[in-house]
Amino acid sequence: MAVGIFDSGLGGLTVLDAVTKRLPEVPFVYFGDNSHAPYGVRDADDVYNLTTAAVERMWAEGCDLVILACNTASAAALRRMQEGWIPEDKRVLGVFVPLIEALTERKWGDNSPPREVEVKHVALFATPATVASRAFQRELAFRAIGVDVEAQACGGVVDAIEDGDMILADALVRSHVDALTRKMPEPQAAILGCTHYPLMHDSFQDALGADVQVYSQANLVAESLADYLDRHPKMVGAGEQSKFLTTGNPAKVSTRATQFLRREIKFEQA
73: three-class secondary structure by DSSP? helix
Beta bridge pairs of residue 151: 124
What stretch of H or E contains 40?
none
Q: How far apart are the C-alpha atoms of 97 and 82, rounded to whole Å?
A: 14
Q: How far apart are the C-alpha atoms of 37 and 41, rounded to whole Å?
A: 9
Let me know if 70 is a catalytic residue: yes
Rg of the chain over all Cα atoms, to the nearest angstrom: 18
Q: Considering 194, 200, 212, 220, which one is annotated as catalytic?
A: 194
Q: Considering 10, 70, 157, 265, which one is annotated as catalytic?
A: 70
Q: Which amino acid is at 150?
A: E
Let me know if 194 is a catalytic residue: yes
Q: What is the DSSP string of 206-254?
A: HHH-TTSEEE-SHHHHHHHHHHHHHH-GGGS-S--S-EEEESS-HHHHH
The catalytic site residues sit at: 70, 194
